[in-house]
């Protein structure tokens, strides 16, 4: 069992009220892959420039993440420089250089054939479309997106949405995409376009899942050690699909509602680790006990006893 | 066992994306009392003008709410006219007339003596202070407040906070009051001033409780039928303290952590009814089954199965 992720690999420079990190490993595919690697075998499809440090490839390899699908292209790696507000729930882009991501044509290596789960991480929906036409995973396709694609590439984005089983996006994006301010209504509109499950990430407030089995909602881990929220959403998706991948592996069958709800909790778990440090620092040193304990803490915080 | 609430009684005119209601019953004490009335005996201390309709007194009496402490004063009742945004999570004040609330001096009738629980609903902290000096409830004092008091009456507000056992406020207010953007940190700062429990209401995202027993967080009921959020926070407080009052009555002892957590859920339950219609309409026709079913639905929506 494996999860293949298509998305960005970036070099980020980030300022938050709690510090600064310069030229660190980032990108939607990166956070996703690191989070998912604790649950399942992960393969990345992405692009970097010739400036991408070997050390960053090593981070992936330390987590047994396959990187044959990361094209090393002439030019520089996508870079993002941003500064967060005090609540760390919104960032101002200070500088962005798309670089090699501009003309990214995803290349699926022969070694990736026969994927079980495909995740279209946040990236230009034109790229996402190329991929859904090339890869037909055995179990499911999930996707993420962001405000700029909703505003500038709506038609392509809607076509991608029609191809996926699960869409994962945040509350502001769900509202922007549908024009519905009330989240369960927004979820119903998106579901009417095709996806069987709609998962809405609510940052510090946790996550919400809508499907034909009803609604599920779980608060985020109550976080006192908040350093940098970059990649929290991608890590959520990694924990979520990683956990689903593991449950398919364990039961040799498609996931049921309980597996999906557990997966949402593991999404929260992985996001809660990511925000405790810059870049993927926290995601590099976890073990299964850390993950299981955090899951238990989230459930205890919501338990009536 | 009884809960005494001191707060505003108002005549509201409200516009939301789902309709308009003119000159309807409102006010912090009103919503609180109606919500709490399903759990425990409730007494109001407030002020109205001579224009306050008898029908509105009848609404209270239909719920066995004692109104001897509502002074009928020369002049007009406090009125508020507001318009909500699409997400119903913020309102613009179109018109406000403080009227008789301006010189409100709370009067505690002899029949209210020996209260068990006191709630200082959202009102000028000067009024709240007068009350805590007059009433010494057997079990506990709780309070709410709002942004204008935090900004304009900070010193009086901090003195009230030092007198209470429990403070209930919303996320924006907690941040404004403490300067701490991260909610668990804001809760710790407030607790350092005296209150043993800090409850932060998060609107559509539910509620968060912090105490020496740790954190508790529960999502709101997933609401598709959203009409008007006015009074949701006051109804939360009514469900919360009403439920605590009932648990003290049942066990003839101070509440424990489980009682507090159940009370937060009943706060969510009562707020979720309030937002389904204008004014206290929805709070007028409930029965115990409605309340118990909604509680179960909230728990099911958060349950891993």
Percent of all residues in chain B with a pLDDT value above 90, rounded to a whole number = 94
* A90 at interface of B, judged by CB pairs closer than 8 A: no
- Over residues A18-48, the pLDDT tens digits come to 999 999 999 999 999 999 999 999 999 999 9
Q: Is A114 exposed, middle or buried (0-12, 13-18, 19+ CB in 10 A)?
A: exposed
* B216 at interface of A, judged by CB pairs closer than 8 A: yes
E strand intervals along B62-196: 66-73, 79-84, 91-97, 117-120, 140-143, 166-170
- Over residues B83-127, the pLDDT tens digits come to 999 889 899 999 999 999 999 999 999 999 778 999 999 999 999
Angle between the B154-163 and B125-134 helix axes, to the nearest 10 degrees? Answer: 30
Ranges under pLDDT 50 in chain A = none
* A297 at interface of B, judged by CB pairs closer than 8 A: no
Query: Tokens in use for B6?
Result: 């001191």
The total of other beta-carbon atoms located within 10 Å of residue B281's CB is: 17
- pTM to 2 decimals? 0.94
Angle between the B232-251 and B28-36 helix axes, to the nearest 10 degrees? Answer: 40
Chain B residues touching A295 at Cβ < 8 A: none
- State whether A202 and B206 contact (CB < 8 Å): no
Angle between the A257-274 and A28-36 helix axes, to the nearest 10 degrees? Answer: 120
What is chain B's mean pLDDT, rounded? Answer: 96
CA of A55 vs chain B CAs: smallest distance (Å): 33
- CATH class of the domain defined by B2-301: alpha beta
Within a 13 Å sphere around the CA of A128, how many CA atoms are in the beta-carbon half? Answer: 31
Chain B residues touching A170 at Cβ < 8 A: none
Alpha-carbon gap, residue A269 to A265, rounded angstroms: 6
Question: What phi, psi does A154 have (nearest 5°)?
Answer: -55, -45
Rounded to a whole number of angstroms, the CA Rg of chain A reads 18
Domain ranges of chain B: 2-301
- State whether B224 and A85 contact (CB < 8 Å): no
E strand intervals along chain B: 2-6, 10-16, 19-26, 41-49, 66-73, 79-84, 91-97, 117-120, 140-143, 166-170, 197-201, 207-211, 214-218
Residue B305 has a pLDDT of 74
Between chain A and chain B, how many beta carbons pairs sit less than 8 Å apart? 89
Fold of A2-302: 3.40.1190
Within a 13 Å sphere around the CA of A12, how many CA atoms are in the beta-carbon half? Answer: 26
Alpha-carbon gap, residue A91 to A54, rounded angstroms: 28
Q: Of B265, B261, B259, B233, nearest to B246 (Cα)?
A: B259
SS3 content of chain B, % helix, strand, coil (to 5): 40, 25, 35
- State whether A219 and B226 contact (CB < 8 Å): no
* B302 at interface of A, judged by CB pairs closer than 8 A: yes
CA of A267 vs chain B CAs: smallest distance (Å): 14
* B255 at interface of A, judged by CB pairs closer than 8 A: no
Nearest to B215 among A17, A87, A222 (CB): A222
Q: Confirm if A280 and A41 have CB atoms less than 8 A apart.
A: no
- This complex has an ipTM of 0.91
Question: What phi, psi does A206 have (nearest 5°)?
Answer: 95, -145
């Amino acid at each position: 069992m494996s999860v293949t992720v298509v998305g960005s690999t970036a070099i980020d420079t980030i300022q938050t009220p709690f510090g600064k990190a310069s030229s660190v490993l980032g990108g939607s595919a990166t956070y996703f892959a690191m989070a998912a690697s604790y649950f399942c075998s992960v393969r990345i499809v992405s692009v970097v420039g010739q400036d991408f440090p070997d050390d960053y490839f090593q981070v992936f390899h330390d987590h047994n993440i396959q990187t044959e699908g990361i094209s090393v292209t002439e030019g520089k790696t996508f870079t993002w420089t941003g500064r967060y507000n005090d609540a760390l729930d919104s960032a101002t882009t200070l500088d962005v250089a798309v670089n090699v991501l501009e003309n990214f044509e995803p290349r699926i290596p022969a070694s990736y054939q026969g994927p079980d789960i495909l995740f279209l991480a946040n990236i230009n929906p034109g790229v996402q479309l190329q991929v859904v036409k090339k890869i037909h995973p055995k179990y499911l396709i999930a996707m993420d997106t962001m405000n700029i694609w909703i505003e500038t590439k709506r038609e392509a984005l809607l076509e991608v949405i029609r191809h996926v089983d699960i869409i994962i996006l945040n509350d502001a994006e769900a509202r922007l995409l549908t024009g519905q301010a009330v989240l369960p209504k927004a979820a119903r509109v998106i579901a009417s376009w095709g996806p069987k499950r709609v998962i809405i990430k609510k940052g510090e407030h946790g996550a919400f899942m809508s499907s034909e089995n009803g609604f599920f909602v779980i608060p985020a881990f109550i976080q006192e050690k908040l350093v940098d929220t970059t990649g929290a959403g991608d890590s959520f998706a990694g924990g979520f699909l990683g956990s689903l991948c593991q449950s398919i592996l364990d039961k040799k069958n498609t996931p049921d509602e309980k597996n999906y709800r557990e997966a949402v909790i593991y999404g929260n778990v992985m996001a809660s680790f990511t925000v405790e440090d810059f870049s993927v620092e926290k995601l590099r040193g976890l073990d299964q006990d850390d993950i299981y304990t955090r899951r238990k803490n989230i459930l205890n915080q919501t338990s009536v006893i």
